[in-house]
Amino acid sequence: MSDASAPVRVFIGSGEASLLERKTLIYSLRKNSKRPLEIWVINGTHNAIERNDAPPFLAPMSLEMKYRNVTEFSLYRYLIPQMCDYQGRAIYLDSDMICLGDIGELFDTPMDDVDFRAVKEYGDSMWATSVMLFNCGRCRFELETIFDEIDAGRYSYSDFSRFAGHFLQHRPYTIAELAPTWNEFDRFDSNTKLIHYTDLSRQPWKFPNHPFGELWHQYFKEARDSGLISEEDVKLTLMRAYVRKDILDGNRPMRVGALWRKAAGLLQRLGKRG
């Protein structure tokens, strides 16, 4: 069990294009947590780390490893035990999520002398590393050596990234399951603690009408109302075309035809009054 008086350490993997989604995630974490949070934002675009909104500093990743990332931040999660001086616990989250439960409950999950916990991916022998609870005192990732072994054909990058059995034959990490409610892929019910918007063709900040997009937009609006997301954040993200142009219209914006009919009806009512 972790120290209940200690802040909950959460690392968020992101890039420059993820500003709105990661701030929405941060808002959801703070809203639903009963304990203080220590939030570290990984910005893979700039090889930088921001801790609790302080000025960024360089991440301890070589350029050689940075350019082996599949996404801008794929490999940074494996630096977390090192950044924690191999002490205590830490949580890793992708930025395309909303946390609906108290993240302290995940942080306090018994570790049982394992290296980390994650959710089983699709019920098979692989692991979804988009949510991880690290036992930093035990867990070490020698990325340069791992990629030397990938290049030598001992296992694939996919084997490594999902901790498949073929990778674990060479690198025997001990892994335990997290409750799947802490990483629900594009679904939500009354038991969901964390929803992960994994479908790149439906993410609600890029496309309308996600089945559970209203939930994301609710938190996005609250984050804006709270001041965590500023008008400048929204303007800059729109200018860079990282999100859909009508993002402020919510999950189900009206079609152009419906807007014209609404406008015509309003003009007709105004004409009758005149």
Q: What is the pLDDT of residues 93-124, one digit of tens each?
A: 999 999 999 999 999 999 989 999 999 986 66
Contact yes or no for 47/57 (Cβ under 8 A): no
76 has pLDDT over 90: yes
State the pLDDT at residue 44. 96
Q: Is 265's pLDDT higher than 80?
A: no
Count of domains for the chain: 1
**Amino acid identity, residue 59?**
A
Q: Which tops the pLDDT comparison, 145 or 265? A: 145
Q: Given a cut of 80, is residue 125 above it in pLDDT?
A: no
| Strands 194-196 vs 184-185: parallel, antiparallel or unpaired | parallel
pLDDT value of residue 53: 83
Lowest mean pLDDT among 4-13, 199-208, 248-257: 248-257
Q: Mind listing the pLDDT tens digit for each residue in 10-62? A: 999 999 999 999 999 999 999 999 999 999 999 999 999 999 989 999 999 99
Q: What is the CATH number of the domain that holds 256?
A: 3.90.550.10
Averaged pLDDT for residues 112-138: 91
Cβ 92 vs Cβ 107: under 8 Å: no
Summarize the confidence of residues 244-273 as an average pLDDT: 69
What dihedral do alpha carbons 243, 8, 134, 184 form, nearest 10°?
A: -50
pLDDT at 257: 45
CA nearest to 130, candidates 99, 174, 86, 161: 161
**Which candidate, 128, 8, 12, places its Cα nearest to that of 80?**
12
Instruction: Name the least confident of 80-84, 131-135, 219-223, 252-256.
Output: 252-256
Confidence at residue 106, expressed as pLDDT on a 0 to 100 scale: 98
Report percent pLDDT > 90 for the chain.
86
Q: How many helices (H) does the chain have, and how many strands (E)?
A: 10, 11
CA distance 16 to 61: 17
Block residue for tokens 């700039």? 46
Q: Is the pLDDT of residue 254 over 70?
A: no
- Residue 253's pLDDT band, with cuts at 50, 70 and 90, is confident
Q: How big, in percent rounded to 5, are the helix, strand and coil portions of the chain? A: 35, 20, 45
pLDDT at 244 over 80: yes
> What pLDDT is attached to residue 6?
80
| Residue 180 confidence (pLDDT) | 94
Question: Which tokens is 53 given?
Answer: 């909104």
Q: How confident is the model at residue 68 (pLDDT cuts 50, 70, 90)?
A: very high
3-state secondary structure of 120: strand
> At 23, which amino acid appears?
K
Examine the pLDDT at 146 and tell me if it is beyond 60. yes
> Average pLDDT, whole number, for the chain?
92
Residue type, 190: S
Pair of tokens at residue 188: 């939500």
Residues 167, 173, 174, CA angle at the centre, nearest 5°?
A: 130
Nearest partner of 170 among 150, 188, 151, judged by Cα: 150
The position carrying tokens 């034959």 is 169
Distance CA 103, CA 170 (A): 32
Place of tokens 């309308």: 208
Mean pLDDT, residues 210-232 taken together: 97
Q: What pLDDT score was predicted for residue 4? A: 67
What burial letters (b/e) apply to 12-43, b meaning 16+ CB within 10 Å? bbbbebbbbbbbbbbbbbbebbeeebebbbbb
- Phi, then psi, of 101 in degrees rounded to 5: -105, 180
Range of the structural domain that residue 101 is part of: 1-274
Q: What is the pLDDT of residue 274?
A: 52
